[in-house]
Structure 1
Amino acid sequence: MRGTLAAMNLAVPLFLQSQCHNAALGFRTPAVVAANRALVDFVKSIGGIALNMGDGIIHSWLNELVVPDTVVVGGDSHTRVPTALSFPLGSGGVAEAAATGVTEITVPDSVLVVLKGNFRRGVTVRDLVNYIPYKAKKLFGKNVFEGAIMEFRRIGEPFDMIDVFEMTNASAERSAAAAYFEQSPEAVAAHIESRSLPMIEKLIESGCDNNGVLADRARVLRDYVENPRKARADGDAAYAAVLEIDLGEIDQPYVACPHTPDNVKPLDEIAGTPAQFGFVGSCMSGEKDFAAFERITRGVEKLPVEVWIAAPTRLIERDLERAQILRALENRGARVEISGCSLCMGNQERVKGEKNVLTTSTRNFKGRMGDEASVYLVSAQLEAVAVLNG
C-alpha cells in the first residue's frame, strides 16, 4: 500500500490510519514503536489522518467521521459503519481507492432484515445481534447473509446510534459483504451534532488535523445536520431473502457459544456454565455498555471473576473517567487496559489457561483470545450478572 500511495496525492477527502491492533503497553518494543512512528509520519506526509497507539479502534473513530450515504472502504473486515455503505478490502484495494478515488467492487445481492416492535425487559441489542443468525438458520437452513449486503430496516422507534453500529458491525461475523441501516435522518443528524462534531473538534484541538482535512469533514457534517437526508431502497427492490423479527419474540438473552459467532443458543440452554473471565471492550462496545457493567456490579467490594476493561477510543475513555466508571471498576479489581483492540484481537494480550470467557467483543474463534479459552459473546448486562454469580 505504501508503494502505491507514495507516488500520488490522495484522491479521497479522508484517509484514516490507526494503531489499534498493537497498542498494548507491554508489547511496545523499540522495533514496534519505530515501525508505528514511521507509519504515522508516512500517512501524514500524503495528507492522511494518523492516530497513535492508545488513541483507540479505527472502526469506532470511523463511525463518527463518515459522511452519511457515502461509500467507504477499509483494510479490515470490521469496516462496517452504520450510515454509509462500507466495504472491507485488502490493502491493495484500499491503496487504489485512496490514490485514484475509485475502486472496483462487485455489488452482490441484498438480504433485508426488518425489525419491528420493542424489546422485552432484560433483552438488549447484543441479544438481537446473536438472535439474527439463530432465527435465520432456523428459517433458511443456512447462512443467507454470506457474501450479501445486509440491509436493516427499523419499523418503530429509532435505535441509538451505538446500537445501530453494533448491528452493522456484526455483519462481519455473518460473512456479509457489507451492511447498511436505514436509520431516521433526524436521528443521524442528532447523533452527528451531539457526538461526532464535538469529537472532531477535540481531535482538531489535540493536533490531529492535517491541512484542514478534519475541519473540512466537520463542515460537511454540519451541512448534513442542517439538511438531513436519507438513502432509501426502491419500493420494488428485490432481495435474496427477507428476515422479519418482532423484537418482542426474543424472550431471553441469546449467547454466541464457542467456537463461532453462529453457534447461538438461548440462555436457558447453557445456564450453569461457569463464568471464569470477563472482558468489556472492542469496537462492538459503547459508553453505555461500560456504564451498565459498572451499575450492575455496584456494591461488590471485589469482583469474584477476573475482568479486563478496554475503552474503544481515548475520548470514550476520558468520558468514562469523568463519570468515575473506570475508577469504580478498578477499585473492584478490574484491570483497565489502554484504548484499543486488546483481548478482542488476541495478537498481544491473551487469556491464559483453560477458562470460560464472557466478552462483549466480536469473535470467539478457537485460539483467538487465548490458546485454551472458550469464548462466549454476550451483552455487558449478562456478563455483569454472570461475573457476580460465577
Structure 2
Amino acid sequence: MAFAAATGVMPLDMPESVLVRFKGKRQPGVTLRDLVHAIPYYGIKHGLLTVAKAGKKNAFSGRVLEIEGLDDLTVEQAFELSDASAERSAAGCTITLSEESVAEYLKSNITLLKWMISNGYGEERTISRRIAAMEEWLANPSLMRADKDAEYAEVIEIDLDEIKEPILCAPNDPDDARLLSEVAGEKIDEVFIGSCMTNIGHFRAAGKLLEKQPAGSLKTRLWLAPPTKMDQHQLTEEGYYGIYGRAGARMEMPGCSLCMGNQARVAAKSTVVSTSTRNFPNRLGDGANVYLASAELAAVAAVEGRLPSVEEYQRYMGEFDAMAGEIYRYMNFHEIEEYQKAASNVIPVAQEA
C-alpha cells in the first residue's frame, strides 16, 4: 500500500491461465456436477494433476481456470463449475456464456433487488445504483472474450461424447476423480444434498424420487439443506418439504450445513455421498469416507443404500429426464408472481433523481 501511495501505481503479476475447452454433446444421465469432476479426471489423464501428495502435481494451482464450450448454460449452472475452481487451487475462474444467459440472470436480479427495496432490505441508494448498472448493461450488452491469439499454460479438451457415466471424487480428496463403474456397489450410510453446489432443481429431483418411496423406508440417513431461504420457501410452497418429511429426511436450515464442517456432523467412520464442495479428511465427520457426487446420484444412493451400477443409475435418470421441464426450473424472480408484484411498485432512487 505504501508503494502504491508513493508512486501512484501498483504492479501486479497476472497469473497464467489453463483453458478447459468442452466440445461435443452432453450424454444422457451426465449432469453438470459430472462435468465439474471431469476437469480433474481429464487433468489426471493428461498428466497435469496427480492424486498422491508426494511430489504433487497440479497444473491448475495459482492459475486462472478458463472454461469454454458451455455457452448455453444459465448463470446459475455456471456457478456450479466456477465454485469448484477453489478445489483445483486455481486463482480464479471464467466461463464463456451467451448474452442471453447473462441477460436473463440480470433481469431476474433486477426484480429481486426491487423486491428487496420493497421489503426494506439493505440501503436503498446502494441497491438502486446496482439496478441502474444492470439496466445499463441490458441496454448495451457486451461480454469479454479471450483474444484469438491468447496463450495458455495448458489446454485441456474434454469431449462430452466420451463421458457416458457419472464421475465422482473418491474419499477423501476432491482431486481423486473416478467413474461410477469403478466404485459401484459401495455401501452408503449417509447422504448430504446441499451447499452452494446445488440449486432448487436438485431438491425437486430428490423430492420426485423420495415421493415414490414408502414412508420411512430410506436405507440411509439423508440430510437436506437448500442453499438459500428463498429456495426453502419455494420448495415449501410446492409441497416438497412434506415429501421430505414423510421420507424421513433430516432438514437442515438453509446454508452451508454439513459442508461447513463445523456445524452438524455425520457419524464417525461412516461412508457418505455428498454434494458439498470438498471432501477433505474429517471435514464432514470424524474418520468419515466421503464421495462427492451430483445431487441426482446422491438421491439414488440415499434410496438404494449403496452406489448404484451405471445401468441402475441410468434407469433413475430416465425418470428425471422425463420430468426435466418441471424439475429444472431456476429461481428466475422476474417470472415469479410474488416478486413481480413487489417489484412493480418500486421506483429506484437513482431513477427518481
TM-score by length of 2: 0.78
Preserved contact between residue 37 and residue 167 of structure 2 (Cα < 8 Å)? yes
State which of 326, 331, 339 in structure 1 corresponds to 2:254.
339
Q: 1:363 to 1:204 in 2, by over 3 A?
A: same
1:80 match:
none
Conserved? CA contact 1:294–1:325, under 8 Å: yes
The one-character-per-residue Cα deviations of 1:316-354 (angstroms, maximum 9, x if unpaired) are: 221222222222112211111111111001112111222
Q: 2:195 aligns with which of 279, 282, 288?
A: 282
RMSD: 1.8
Q: For 1:310, give the aligned amino acid.
A: A
The question of whether the paired residues in 1 share the 8 Å contact of 2:117 and 2:124 is answered with no
1:292 aligns with 205
Q: CA deviation at 1:291?
A: 1.2
For the 8 Å contact 1:192–1:221, the answer to whether it is kept is: yes
Whether the 8 Å CA contact 2:272–2:290 is kept in 1: the answer is yes
Residues 1:326 and 1:223: Cα distance change in structure 2 (over 3 Å): farther
Paired position in structure 2 for 1:4:
none
CA distances 1:22-46 after superposition (whole Å, capped 9, x unpaired): xxxxxxxxxxxxxxxxxxxxxxxxx
Of 86, 89, 99, the residue aligned with 1:175 is 89
Partners of 1:103 and 1:389 lie apart in 2 by 56
Letter aligned with residue 219 of structure 1:
A
The offset of 1:222, in angstroms, is: 1.9
The residue aligned with 2:99 is 185
| Structure-1 separation of matches of 2:301 and 2:267 | 20
Shift of the 113–320 alpha-carbon distance from structure 1 to 2, 3 Å rule, reads: same
* TM value normalised by structure 1: 0.71
Shift in CA distance, 284/105, structure 1 to aligned 2, threshold 3 Å:
farther
Kept in 2, the 8 Å contact 1:190–1:225? The answer is no
Could you tell me which residue of structure 1 aligns to residue 271 of structure 2?
A: 356
1:134 and 2:41 matched: yes
Q: 1:182 to 1:352 in 2, by over 3 A?
A: same
Whether the 8 Å CA contact 1:255–1:265 is kept in 2: the answer is yes
Report the CA distance between 1:374 and its aligned residue. Answer: 1.0
Q: 2:120 aligns with which of 189, 203, 207?
A: 207
2:310 is aligned to: none
Corresponding residue for residue 373 of structure 1: 288
Question: Any conservation in 2 of the 1:186–1:228 contact (CA below 8 Å)?
Answer: no
Against the structure 1 CA distance between its residues 172 and 104, is the aligned structure 2 distance closer, same or farther, given a 3 Å change threshold? farther
- In structure 2, the partner of 1:118 is 25
Q: Is the 8 A contact 2:210 2:243 kept in 1?
A: no
- The count of corresponding residues between Structure 1 and Structure 2 is 288
Change (3 A) 1:105 1:344: farther
Matched, 1:243 2:156: yes
Match of residue 216 from structure 1: 129
Query: Structure 1 runs of 4+ off > 3 angstroms?
Result: 102-106
Question: Relative contact order (C-alpha < 8 Å, sep 6+): which is higher?
Answer: 2
Unaligned runs of 5+ in 2: 2-8, 50-57, 306-353
1: CA distance, partners of 2:83 / 2:113: 22
Alpha-carbon displacement from aligned partner over 1:173-202 (angstroms, at most 9, x marks no partner): 000000011111221101221x32222223
Percent of residue pairs identical: 39
- C-alpha deviation, 1:240, in angstroms: 0.4
Contact 1:120 1:247 in 2 (8 A): yes
Give how far 1:267 is off. Answer: 0.5
Q: CA deviation at 1:104?
A: 7.2
1:296 and 1:381 in contact (8 A); partners too:
no
SS in structure 2 at match of 1:297: helix
Counterparts of residues 243-262 of structure 1 (less than 5 Å): 243-262=156-175
Match of 2:227 in 1: 312
Question: CA-to-partner distance for each residue in 1:351-371, whole Å, 9 max, x for gaps?
Answer: 122211111110100011111
**SS in structure 1 at match of 2:113:** helix
Match of 2:146 among 225, 233, 237: 233
> Given the superposition, is the C-alpha separation of residues 291 and 237 from structure 1 closer, same or farther in structure 2, using an over 3 Å criterion?
same
Letter in 1 for 2:230: L
Q: d(CA) in 1 for partners of 2:177 and 2:99? A: 32
SS at match of 1:198: helix
SS at match of 1:279: strand
Match of 1:146 among 61, 64, 69: 61
**Unaligned segments of structure 1, at least 5 residues:** 1-92, 94-101
CA deviation after TM superposition for structure 1 residue 305, in Å? 1.3
Q: Which residue of 2 aligns with 1:17?
A: none
Tell me what 1:32 maps to: none
